[in-house]
């Protein structure tokens, strides 16, 4: 790899680049899925290539190719330089990357059991067993389950002198049971919805979650939901379980703290942010109980790595401290921009730039953006709630383009009356405005309930990029929330 | 772009390496360039070249899939071996019968050399026009100008051999002021047909008219939905149940309703991969020619789309050419949706509306209930109150929670023109008219 990176970076400098970096990426993905007793997918996918990023005349250029040959490196680097010169035609100021980042290092995801060495038969058998359990419940129309394993090897080199090799390993699993009756479809997912729960870990991650042992319960709950009453509407107290709260954090905190969004670079696609720079350090985002951090170092977190795709070391940053908004997710360029507005802001990036493979340019993505745990047990929290709804696992999500008005639907909900769980409700939804919602958070469960959930499907950017992010959360309670919008 | 002959050569090479009963090779080539701008400046300018080879190996009723983008002979051999290894770990799938056999494909000419040859400088000039217009009006422009050439080759050991190439150019911008924003976009196969300045003009005009928006109470309103909002609803219907797998599993809104009226009389929706008003793709990812499938005709549920797998589960049914790439766990899918036009102009819709809301586009829509076709989402980049046939004032954005079929049952006027609306992901487009709808349910508000 050294030969190719040296060649590319030398060429960048010869052609006038004041900065250049190159990422060479190889990604292997193994996907297995079972649907109603049939192995529907067993695929082994590989992709490799490189991307080069340069600053010429104060502007960015990026080009990429799947061909790892010296001649192609020359062509693609020349193209990147040409593109940068074109970018300079419509620039208003030169790119400022701030202080240099020089690191020579190797990082590998700690793995107990390499998932690529586990026999395919074992994986298929696990899914078939879980599938059978789910479909053993009368009324389950469809059971789908899947395993995903990813190994990504990346070499990063820059004209500043960095040379970083990383190997990130991910393991993911999921099952959904779908029950159908006339005019009604209900589903229950485990451990999380929308395909899978995933972490940076080996096969031990799969073993921990015991898919077969939870599949029957998913089937039973899906069938029970068919005849459950519709969640009533009104303003009430809600308790969100961990997976639902993880997505709540993702949508209403994780995205609005992306500093590229704040500065408008996602305005035409994903949107901007209500957390504008003048709010930095002073805005009350939530109640005193709300503490949110962003880190790329939590073990098994799906947003965990050694270095971001600009070669900045993984780190932990306070985002919301005792309810006050205190930090963004930054890149080298946006950290410099923020510092011009807020001289007290950190001079260096907090290492949140990531690219979806070799063909995409790094953009600011969530790491593990997590709500820190509180002091309650879940039993005590429910016992302390006179009237409310306990909402479990996401089914639908939507939020406006500044991340203020959101509406979520959940798979399963229970009435809470006089401190006890009561009737099951179907089609429960809740909606609110982000700071008001977090301002009404009055209890968070303790570290025993806290888990970092993986979101392997976060979309952003043009061309589209899918990021893998993590979100630590324990169940929490929110007062005065509008529920039951759907009739 | 490697071209037809080179892709065919790779496909033949892969087929020759196979020891499976049946083998399919699917090759995607892409050359995509995109210039992205914000705050009146280019902040991202990228180019991607890739060729991916995907192999499906079949042994009896077992299938395995592998893919790679290294085109060396050794790497291709490894992909074939991986697919065959994967198949070996499968169990028999009783519903799998065979890969499709060869059928005559009617090609479409969807490639324009000017788009393939478009330079970063040309894109930068288009972007500069939009940014200048925004700057002159004290506004900020964001958006993207992209050009792409895609080629696809499908071949299998039964004799299928299909090749298609297409080009697409796309300009999108959001123009922002302190208190409002405006949106416009255009998509063409030929980049020279794109008028970036005209796109910018529409968005600037909307941004200026969106300044100082005011609140309105949520509730049921007559709406005029511009084409992008309608296309969003059509695409959502595709996800909710225009595919045969959803029907076979009993979770589609079409279940039990074929032959019944499910929308207003004026609504006709179809999928057509040959119609150049969209982004054409004449065959699916199994190489089966795409049929024009009428899904809803004059309000009546008519049909859904099939791939070879779902067709094989129903006596006498054939694939309509709507497979996704193997291994496909989502079932067949509509990627070339059209809604039939009406006769009205948007101006006529506006003039006929005593009180209502004009919606430029939706943001972040998501399904709440697939059988009831309930969708939620926000309005964005140009929402206006209509009073007495005129735009009265800009509104802060609203959340809607609405059954799509109910909305289409309340359609009062359809636009005479179809707009090609590029999907957010992939080289696909939906063609939709503007639609005036009564009693559209808005359920929430936001602060801007």
Helix axes B4-17, B73-88, angle to 10 degrees: 50
Residue recorded with tokens 């004041």: A18
- Superfamily grouping for domain A2-226: PmbA/TldD superfamily (3.30.2290.10)
Same domain, B39 and B163: yes
Sign of CA dihedral B222, B227, B228, B231: positive
Q: What is the pLDDT of residue A418?
A: 98
In this complex, the residue of A42, A84, A482 whose CB is nearest that of residue B86 is: A42
A38 and B250 in contact by Cβ < 8 A? no
Q: Smallest CA–CA separation between B142 and chain A, in Å? A: 6
pLDDT in tens, B414-439: 999 999 999 877 779 999 999 999 99
Identify from B20, B34, B43 which residue to disrupt to test chain A contact, counting A C-beta atoms within 10 A and taking the largest count: B43
The three-state secondary structure class of B233 is helix
Q: Smallest CA–CA separation between B106 and chain A, in Å? A: 30
Please report, to the nearest 10 degrees, the dihedral formed by the alpha carbons of residues B101, B106, B107, B110 taken in order: -120
The three-state secondary structure class of B245 is helix
Q: What is the pLDDT of residue B95?
A: 87
Same domain, B148 and B217: no
Among chain B residues, the shortest Cα distance to A428 is held by B368
Q: What is the pLDDT of residue B213?
A: 98
Same domain, B266 and B231: yes
Tokens at A482, concatenated: 């509008």
| DSSP structural state of residue B415 | B
pLDDT in tens, A301-338: 999 999 999 999 999 999 999 999 999 999 999 999 99
The stretch A38-49 carries a mean pLDDT of: 92
Inter-chain Cβ pairs, chain A and chain B, closer than 8 A: 280
Q: Count the neighbouring beta carbons within 10 Å of the beta carbon of residue B186.
A: 19
Same domain, B131 and B242: no
Sign of CA dihedral A339, A343, A349, A354: negative
pLDDT in tens, B260-305: 999 999 999 999 999 999 999 999 999 999 999 999 999 999 999 9
Least trusted range by pLDDT, from A108-117, A311-320, B41-50, B362-371: B41-50
Beta strands in A72-182 (DSSP E): 104-108, 140-158, 163-181
The stretch B331-344 carries a mean pLDDT of: 98
Residues 6+ positions from A29 with CB-CB distance below 8 Å: A43, A44, A45, A46, A148, A149, A150
Got the DSSP string for B295-362?
EEETTEE---B--HHHHTTSTT----S-PPSSS-SS-----SEEE---SB-HHHHHHT-SEEEEEEEE
Q: Domain residue spans in chain A? A: 2-226, 234-483
User: Could you tell me the pLDDT band of residue A69, with boundaries at 50, 70 and 90?
Assistant: very high
Q: What is the pLDDT of residue B73?
A: 94
Q: Which residues of B touch A271 (CB under 8 A)?
A: 363, 380
Tokens at A405, concatenated: 């008005």
pLDDT at B363 over 70: yes
Q: What is the pLDDT of residue B282?
A: 97
pLDDT at B90 over 90: no
Residue in A269, A247, A411, A44 with CA at minimum distance from that of residue B82: A44
User: Could you tell me the pLDDT band of residue A265, with boundaries at 50, 70 and 90?
Assistant: very high
Residue in B110, B118, B93 with CA at minimum distance from that of residue B164: B110
B329 and A41 in contact by Cβ < 8 A? yes
Tell me how far apart the alpha carbons of residues A150 and A454 are, in angstroms, rounded to a whole number: 14
Q: Which residues of B touch A59 (CB under 8 A)?
A: 42, 45
Tell me how far apart the alpha carbons of residues A182 and B396 are, in angstroms, rounded to a whole number: 38
| Domain boundary pick from B204, B228, B259 | B204
A401 and B37 in contact by Cβ < 8 A? no
Residue recorded with tokens 């993880």: A246
Q: Which residues of B touch A228 (CB under 8 A)?
A: none
Q: Which residues of B touch A39 (CB under 8 A)?
A: 89-91, 93
pLDDT in tens, B95-133: 899 999 999 999 999 999 999 999 999 999 999 999 999
pLDDT at B368 over 60: yes
Same domain, B36 and B62: yes
Average pLDDT, chain B: 96
In this prediction the pTM is: 0.96
Q: What is the pLDDT of residue A1?
A: 86
As for how many domains chain B has, the answer is 2
Q: What is the pLDDT of residue B134?
A: 97
Got the DSSP string for B1-41?
---HHHHHHHHHHHHHH--SSEEEEEEEEEEEEEEEEETTE
Do B416 and B344 touch, CB atoms closer than 8 A?
yes
CATH number at residue B15: 3.30.2290.10
Q: What is the pLDDT of residue B1?
A: 86
B370 and A407 in contact by Cβ < 8 A? no
B45 and A121 in contact by Cβ < 8 A? no
Do B194 and B186 touch, CB atoms closer than 8 A?
yes
The stretch B193-201 carries a mean pLDDT of: 97
Residue in A333, A331, A346 with CA at minimum distance from that of residue A280: A346
pLDDT at B401 over 90: yes
Among chain B residues, the shortest Cα distance to A362 is held by B44
Helix (H) / strand (E) containing A397: strand A387-399
Same domain, B46 and B159: yes
Tell me how far apart the alpha carbons of residues B137 and A61 are, in angstroms, rounded to a whole number: 29
pLDDT at A91 over 90: no
The stretch A381-404 carries a mean pLDDT of: 98
Helix axes B120-136, A70-87, angle to 10 degrees: 20
Among chain B residues, the shortest Cα distance to A404 is held by B446
With pLDDT > 90 as the criterion, what percentage of chain A qualifies? 96
pLDDT at A179 over 70: yes
Tokens at B408, concatenated: 């289409």
Distance of CA A366 to the CA centre of its chain: 6
Same domain, B347 and B404: yes
Same domain, B245 and B127: no
| DSSP structural state of residue A360 | S
pLDDT in tens, A408-458: 999 999 999 999 999 999 999 999 999 999 999 999 999 999 999 999 999
Same domain, B234 and B307: yes
User: Could you tell me the pLDDT band of residue A40, with boundaries at 50, 70 and 90?
Assistant: confident
In this complex, the residue of A404, A409, A462 whose CB is nearest that of residue B34 is: A462
Residue recorded with tokens 């290294």: B70
Got the DSSP string for A181-244?
ETTEEEEEEESSSTT-EEESS-THHHHHH-HHHHHHHHHHHHHHHHTSPBPPPEEEEEEE-HHH
The stretch A384-392 carries a mean pLDDT of: 98
pLDDT in tens, A134-177: 999 999 999 999 999 999 999 999 999 999 999 999 999 999 99
Helix axes A70-87, A2-14, angle to 10 degrees: 40
Tokens at A265, concatenated: 């670079």
pLDDT in tens, A352-380: 999 999 999 999 999 999 999 999 999 99
Tell me how far apart the alpha carbons of residues A237 and A235 are, in angstroms, rounded to a whole number: 7
Q: How high is the ipTM of this complex?
A: 0.94
- By CB neighbour count within 10 A (0-12 exposed, 13-18 middle, 19+ buried), where does A379 fall? exposed
pLDDT at A486 over 70: no
Q: Smallest CA–CA separation between A383 and chain B, in Å? A: 30
Residues 6+ positions from A310 with CB-CB distance below 8 Å: A21, A101, A331, A332, A349, A351, A353, A362
Look up the domain containing B88 and give its range: 4-204
B446 and A433 in contact by Cβ < 8 A? yes
Same domain, B107 and B220: no
Sign of CA dihedral B90, B93, B98, B99: negative
Tell me how far apart the alpha carbons of residues B381 and B362 are, in angstroms, rounded to a whole number: 9
B44 and A433 in contact by Cβ < 8 A? no
Same domain, B350 and B403: yes
With pLDDT > 70 as the criterion, what percentage of chain B qualifies? 100
pLDDT at B441 over 60: yes
Do B249 and A142 touch, CB atoms closer than 8 A?
yes
Least trusted range by pLDDT, from A8-22, B14-28, B423-437: B423-437
| DSSP structural state of residue B118 | -
| Domain boundary pick from B152, B170, B204 | B204
Q: What is the pLDDT of residue A103?
A: 98
Q: What is the pLDDT of residue A487?
A: 57
Do A413 and A425 touch, CB atoms closer than 8 A?
yes
Same domain, B280 and B381: yes
| Domain boundary pick from B157, B178, B204 | B204
Tell me how far apart the alpha carbons of residues A308 and A315 are, in angstroms, rounded to a whole number: 10
Distance from the first to the final alpha carbon of chain B? 45
Residue in B195, B193, B192, A91 with CA at minimum distance from that of residue B184: B195
With pLDDT > 90 as the criterion, what percentage of chain B qualifies? 96
A400 and B378 in contact by Cβ < 8 A? yes
The three-state secondary structure class of B65 is strand
Average pLDDT, chain A: 97
What are the backbone dihedrals phi and psi of residue A94, each rounded to the nearest 5 degrees, phi first? -75, 145
With pLDDT > 70 as the criterion, what percentage of chain A qualifies? 100
């Amino acid at each position: 790899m050294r030969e190719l990176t040296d060649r590319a970076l030398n060429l960048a400098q010869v052609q006038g680049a004041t900065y250049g970096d190159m990422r060479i990426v190889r990604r292997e993905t193994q996907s297995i899925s079972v649907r109603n007793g049939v192995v529907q997918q067993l695929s082994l996918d590989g992709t490799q290539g490189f991307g080069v990023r340069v600053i010429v005349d104060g502007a960015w250029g990026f080009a990429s190719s799947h061909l790892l040959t010296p001649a192609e490196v020359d062509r693609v680097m020349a193209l990147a330089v040409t593109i940068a010169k074109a970018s300079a035609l419509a620039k208003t100021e030169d790119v400022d990357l701030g202080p240099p980042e020089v690191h020579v290092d190797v990082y590998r995801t700690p793995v107990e059991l390499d998932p690529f060495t586990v026999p395919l038969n074992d994986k298929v058998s696990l899914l078939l067993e879980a599938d059978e359990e789910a479909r053993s419940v009368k009324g389950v129309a469809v059971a789908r389950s899947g395993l995903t394993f990813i190994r990504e090897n990346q070499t990063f080199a820059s004209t500043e002198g960095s040379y970083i090799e990383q190997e990130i390993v991910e393991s993911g699993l999921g099952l959904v049971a779908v029950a159908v009756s006339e005019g009604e479809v209900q589903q229950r997912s485990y451990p999380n919805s929308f395909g899978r729960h995933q972490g940076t870990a080996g096969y031990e991650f799969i073993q921990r979650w015991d898919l077969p042992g939870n599949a029957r319960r998913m089937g039973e709950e899906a069938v029970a939901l068919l005849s459950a009453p519709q969640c009533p509407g009104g303003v009430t107290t809600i308790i969100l379980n961990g997976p639902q709260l993880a997505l709540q954090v993702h949508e209403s905190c994780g995205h609005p703290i992306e500093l590229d969004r704040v500065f408008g670079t996602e305005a035409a696609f994903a949107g901007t942010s209500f957390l504008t720079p003048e709010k930095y350090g002073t805005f009350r985002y939530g109640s005193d109980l709300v503490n949110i951090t962003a880190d790329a170092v939590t073990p098994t977190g799906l947003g965990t790595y050694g270095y971001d795709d600009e070669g900045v070391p993984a780190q932990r940053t306070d985002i919301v401290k005792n309810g006050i908004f205190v930090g963004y997710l930054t890149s080298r360029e946006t950290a410099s921009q923020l510092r011009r507005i807020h001289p007290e802001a950190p001079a260096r990036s907090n290492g949140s730039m990531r690219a979806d493979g070799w063909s995409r340019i790094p953009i600011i993505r969530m790491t593990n953006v997590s709500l820190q745990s509180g002091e309650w047990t879940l039993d005590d929290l429910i016992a302390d709630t006179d009237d409310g709804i306990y909402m479990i696992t996401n089914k639908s999500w939507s939020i406006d383009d500044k991340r203020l008005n959101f509406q979520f639907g959940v798979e399963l909900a229970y009435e809470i009356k006089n401190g006890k769980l009561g009737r099951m409700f179907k089609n429960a939804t809740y909606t609110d405005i982000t700071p008001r919602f977090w301002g009404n958070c009055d209890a968070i469960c303790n570290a025993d309930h806290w888990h970092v959930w993986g979101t392997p499907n976060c979309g952003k950017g043009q061309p589209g990029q899918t990021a893998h992010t993590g979100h630590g959360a324990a169940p929490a309670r929110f007062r005065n929330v509008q529920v039951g919008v759907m009739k | 772009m490697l071209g037809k002959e080179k892709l065919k050569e790779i496909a033949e090479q892969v087929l020759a390496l196979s020891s499976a009963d049946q083998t399919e090779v699917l090759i995607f080539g892409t050359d995509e360039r995109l210039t992205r701008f914000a705050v009146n400046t280019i902040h991202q300018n990228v180019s991607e070249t890739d060729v991916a080879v995907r192999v499906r190996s079949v042994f009896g009723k077992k299938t395995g899939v592998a893919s790679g983008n290294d085109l060396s002979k050794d790497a291709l051999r490894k992909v074939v071996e991986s697919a065959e290894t994967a198949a070996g770990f499968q169990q028999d799938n009783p519903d799998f019968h065979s890969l499709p056999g060869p059928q005559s494909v009617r090609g479409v000419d969807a490639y324009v050399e000017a788009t393939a040859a478009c330079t970063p400088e040309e894109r930068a000039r288009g972007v500069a026009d939009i940014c200048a217009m925004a700057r002159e009006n004290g506004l900020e422009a964001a958006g993207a100008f992209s050009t792409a050439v895609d080629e696809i080759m499908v071949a299998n050991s039964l004799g299928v051999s299909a090749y298609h190439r297409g080009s697409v150019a796309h300009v999108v911008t959001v123009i922002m002021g302190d208190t409002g924003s405006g949106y416009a976009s255009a998509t063409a196969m030929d980049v020279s047909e794109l008028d970036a300045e005209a796109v910018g003009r529409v968005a600037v005009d909307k941004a200026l008219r969106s300044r100082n928006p005011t609140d309105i109470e949520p509730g049921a309103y007559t709406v005029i939905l511009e084409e992008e909002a309608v296309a969003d609803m059509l695409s959502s219907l595709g996800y909710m149940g225009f595919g045969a797998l959803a029907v076979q599993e009993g979770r589609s809104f079409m279940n039990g309703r074929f032959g019944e009226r499910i929308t207003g009389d004026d609504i006709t929706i179809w999928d057509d991969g040959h119609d150049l008003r969209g982004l054409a793709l004449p065959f699916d990812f199994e190489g089966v020619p795409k049929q024009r499938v009428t899904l809803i005709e004059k309000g009546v549920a008519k049909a859904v789309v099939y791939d070879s797998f779902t067709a094989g589960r129903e006596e006498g049914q054939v694939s309509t050419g709507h497979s996704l790439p193997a291994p496909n766990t989502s079932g067949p899918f509509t990627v070339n949706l059209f809604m039939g036009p009406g006769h009205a102009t948007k101006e006529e819709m506006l003039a006929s509306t005593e009180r209502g809301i004009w919606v430029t586009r939706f943001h972040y829509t998501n399904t709440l209930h697939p059988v009831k076709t309930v969708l939620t989402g926000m309005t964005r980049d140009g929402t206006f109150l209509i009073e007495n046939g005129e735009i009265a004032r800009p509104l802060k954005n609203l959340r809607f929670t609405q059954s799509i079929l109910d909305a289409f049952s309340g359609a009062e006027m359809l636009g005479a023109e179809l707009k090609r609306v590029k999907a957010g992901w992939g080289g696909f487009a939906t063609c939709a008219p503007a639609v005036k709808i009564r009693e559209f349910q808005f359920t929430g508000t936001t602060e801007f």
